[in-house]
Amino acid sequence: MTLGERVSARMKMLGLSQSELARRVGLSQPAIYALINRNKTGSKSLHEIARELRTTTAYLTGETDDASEGALPAPTESEVAAHLDLVPIAMVDMAYGMGATFADGQIGVEMVHFPKAWVDQLTHSAATHLAWARGKGDSMAPTINDNDMVLIDRSERRVGDQDLIWAFTIGDMAMIKRLRIRGDKVIIMSDSSEVSDDSAHPDEINIIGRITRVVKRV
């Protein structure tokens, strides 16, 4: 195999286009095209290209047929996150609101990394206690509109201060509502004037966490 053929094969294996590889190593797309089709490149660029292709210059130039021999292992997701100062926050596949949403199905959770400095501006809680979810419906409008993202602080599970907004379940129904304690009942309030208040016994309500931020859809 020629140099260009080896580069092309590694690109295909990693799902990299010529333009993406060029962007990563600071070259133009025509320069990558010339490398593949005419075997033309400088030594410095070849080293950087080999690194992005997770191999070595020795493999690309044909000195060895082992693409992994002497190659540095690709960084793990956690190593990249640590280097970029990112923190993982759960993205919960559950929609809340619209009065109530069935929550008896399997709930998917995906860990998504966010800049720690940005998260610290939103909350003082640890990232392990946070989760993003999506509002559904307009029962909490204008505070939370349909498809707005909400940040749930799961470290807060006790309804103390009145009229704050909480994510919770009652049986198999998931909701985001304001809660107010009145004697032996919890008043469940919507921000929309078109939705009437409801009530439940405290033992019926399972608090997921408090809504601390709302990211509006534009």
Place of tokens 């998504």: 112
Residue 100 confidence (pLDDT) above 70:
no
pLDDT digits (tens, 9 = 90+) for 104-127: 555 567 888 899 999 999 999 999
The angle subtended at Cα 7 by Cα 5 and Cα 10, nearest 5°, is 105
Mean pLDDT of 99-103: 46
pLDDT range class, residue 102, cuts 50, 70, 90: very low
Indicate the range of 16-20, 32-36, 78-82, 97-101 predicted with least confidence. 97-101
Q: What is the pLDDT of residue 200?
A: 93
Mean pLDDT of 189-206: 92
Q: Which letter, b or e, does each residue of 179-189 get, where b requires 16 or more Cβ atoms within 10 Å of its Cβ? A: bbeeeeebbbb
Residue 179 confidence (pLDDT) above 90:
yes
Q: Which of 88, 96, 206 is nearest to 150 (CA)?
A: 96
Q: What is the pLDDT of residue 99?
A: 43
Q: Higher pLDDT residue, 101 or 25?
A: 25
Between CA 69 and CA 63 the distance in angstroms is 11
Cβ neighbours of 35 (radius 10 Å): 24
Q: What percent of the chain has pLDDT over 70?
A: 89
Indicate the range of 8-12, 108-112, 197-201 predicted with least confidence. 108-112
Domains and CATH numbers, the chain: 3-60 (1.10.260.40), 80-215 (2.10.109.10)
Residue 51 confidence (pLDDT) above 90:
no
pLDDT digits (tens, 9 = 90+) for 12-26: 998 889 998 988 888
> pTM of the full predicted structure?
0.62
Residue 79 confidence (pLDDT) above 70:
yes
Q: What is the pLDDT of residue 25?
A: 87
Mean pLDDT of 126-144: 89
Is the preceding peptide bond at 142 cis, omega within 30 degrees of 0? yes
Mean pLDDT of 20-34: 89
**Can you tell me whether residue 113 is helix, strand or coil?**
strand
DSSP 71: P
